[in-house]
């Protein structure tokens, strides 16, 4: 089996069986990272480029390790060290990379749609590693993988996503994916940070966090960009933490043993209390699973043979 598309640009439009294929494939890759020799020869001879126009440690490292554990040659390019600062266009940069014969280009960009723009113009497979406020498909896949791993299913699960929905590509990809897989999605945040029409994407909107998390199986906290305060989107960290932060007392009120997720990096004491993050979350499992999911995506886009797991 392989994915029918050349690229992975977003979760929107993906069928349930495609998502399931990726998650199932990731499960077979997960134990590669647990071995003493963390490497399989699956993508030997393939060239993978991490083209990151936005700062990232976790996602870039995760893709890099995923490629290396599949035996691909992985190169990292970030804006600070590329010709981007000299004013080269996005397409010129990408075409120059492709001229050196890349197979997969992983793109992170602050502008929504940048990976799609490149995908239509390059022969290489393009994987969206997060574009603007649009999508972050591998994050949603690793989140779904983690939920399925912890709860045994996605169908019928209730997920509350809390925080700055407006600027969150993680939220959008998760809403699409979870809705497709039969989960119920609630989103909650200050109305200044909930975009119009989000309910049409398949999410129910809340502004009261206690109500939003009531009876949820999963509480997914989003990172608050502190500079949004200057833009007038919330009055201050103190009030934000009070209304939209996940602390022990609020978690206890959920009413069941909900799992707590966060895509990172966290603002401890703002959207999530340290006690919750350290003692009651699956945040590090998400990070572990990210490598397996990204291995699966690269493998399936390469249309390769059976996983040699």
Q: How far is CA 281 from CA 1, 146, 286, in A?
A: 34, 11, 10
* Best CA proximity match to 155, nearest among 257, 16, 255, 25: 16
Q: Among this protein's residues, is 150 annotated catalytic?
A: no
Q: Decide whether 21 or 111 has the Cβ nearer to other proteins.
A: 111
Q: Among this protein's residues, is 58 annotated catalytic?
A: yes
To the nearest 10°, report the CA torsion of 49, 50, 51, 54.
180
* DSSP structural state of residue 246: B
Least Å distance, CB 34 to other proteins, is 35
Region 160-189 residues binding other proteins, contact defined as CB under 8 A:
169, 172
Q: Which residues of 283-298 are buried (b: 16+ CB within 10 A; e: fewer)?
A: bebbbebbbbbbbbbb
Among 58, 84, 132, 225, binds other proteins (CB under 8 A): 132
Stretch in the footprint of other proteins (CB under 8 A) among 89-97, 178-186, 206-214, 246-254: 89-97
When asked if residue 85 is in the footprint of other proteins (CB under 8 A), the reply is: no
Report how far residue 309's alpha carbon sits from residue 27's, in angstroms, rounded to the nearest whole number: 10
Among residues 58, 68, 150, 204, the one annotated as catalytic is: 58
**Under rule CB under 8 A, how many of the chain's residues touch other proteins?**
25
* Torsion sign (Cα): 249, 250, 255, 261: negative
When asked if residue 112 is in the footprint of other proteins (CB under 8 A), the reply is: yes
When asked if residue 202 is in the footprint of other proteins (CB under 8 A), the reply is: no
* Best CA proximity match to 302, nearest among 66, 42, 121, 59: 42
Least Å distance, CB 198 to other proteins, is 6
What burial class does residue 237 get, using C-beta atoms within 10 Å of its C-beta: 0-12 exposed, 13-18 middle, 19+ buried?
middle
When asked if residue 200 is in the footprint of other proteins (CB under 8 A), the reply is: yes
Q: Decide whether 47 or 59 has the Cβ nearer to other proteins.
A: 59
Among 12, 20, 204, 228, binds other proteins (CB under 8 A): 12
Q: Among this protein's residues, is 59 annotated catalytic?
A: yes
Stretch in the footprint of other proteins (CB under 8 A) among 104-112, 221-229, 254-262, 294-302: 104-112
Q: Decide whether 82 or 117 has the Cβ nearer to other proteins.
A: 117
* Torsion sign (Cα): 47, 51, 57, 60: negative
Q: Among this protein's residues, is 86 annotated catalytic?
A: yes
Binding site for other proteins (CB under 8 A): 12, 89-91, 109-114, 116-117, 131-135, 169, 172, 195-198, 200-201
What residues are annotated to the active site? 58-59, 86, 108, 136
């Amino acid at each position: 089996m392989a994915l029918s598309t050349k690229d992975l640009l977003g979760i929107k439009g993906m069928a349930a069986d495609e998502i399931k294929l990726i998650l199932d494939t990731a499960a077979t890759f997960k134990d590669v990272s647990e071995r003493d020799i963390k490497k399989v020869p699956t993508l030997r001879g393939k060239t993978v480029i991490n083209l990151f126009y936005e700062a990232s440690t976790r996602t870039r490292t995760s893709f890099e390790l995923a490629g290396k554990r599949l035996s691909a040659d992985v190169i990292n390019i970030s804006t600070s060290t590329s010709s981007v600062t000299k004013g080269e266009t996005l397409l010129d940069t990408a075409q120059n990379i492709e001229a050196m014969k890349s197979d997969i280009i992983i793109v992170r960009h602050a502008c929504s749609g940048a990976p799609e723009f490149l995908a239509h113009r390059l022969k290489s497979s393009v994987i969206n590693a997060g574009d603007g406020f649009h999508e972050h498909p591998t994050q949603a896949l690793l989140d779904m993988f983690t939920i399925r791993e912890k709860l045994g299913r996605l169908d019928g699960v209730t997920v509350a996503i809390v925080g700055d929905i407006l600027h969150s590509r993680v939220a959008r990809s998760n809403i699409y994916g979870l809705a497709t897989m039969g989960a119920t999605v609630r989103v909650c945040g200050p109305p200044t940070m909930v975009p119009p029409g989000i309910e049409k994407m398949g999410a129910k909107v809340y502004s009261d966090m206690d109500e939003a998390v009531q009876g949820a199986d999963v509480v997914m906290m989003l990172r608050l960009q502190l500079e949004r305060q200057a833009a007038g989107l919330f009055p201050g960290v103190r009030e934000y933490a009070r209304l939209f932060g996940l602390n022990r007392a609020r978690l206890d009120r959920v009413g069941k043993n909900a799992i707590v997720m966060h895509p990172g990096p966290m603002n401890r004491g703002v959207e999530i209390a340290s006690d919750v993050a350290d003692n009651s979350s699956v945040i590090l499992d998400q990070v572990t699973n990210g490598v397996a999911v990204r291995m699966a995506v690269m493998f399936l886009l390469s249309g390769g043979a059976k996983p040699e797991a």
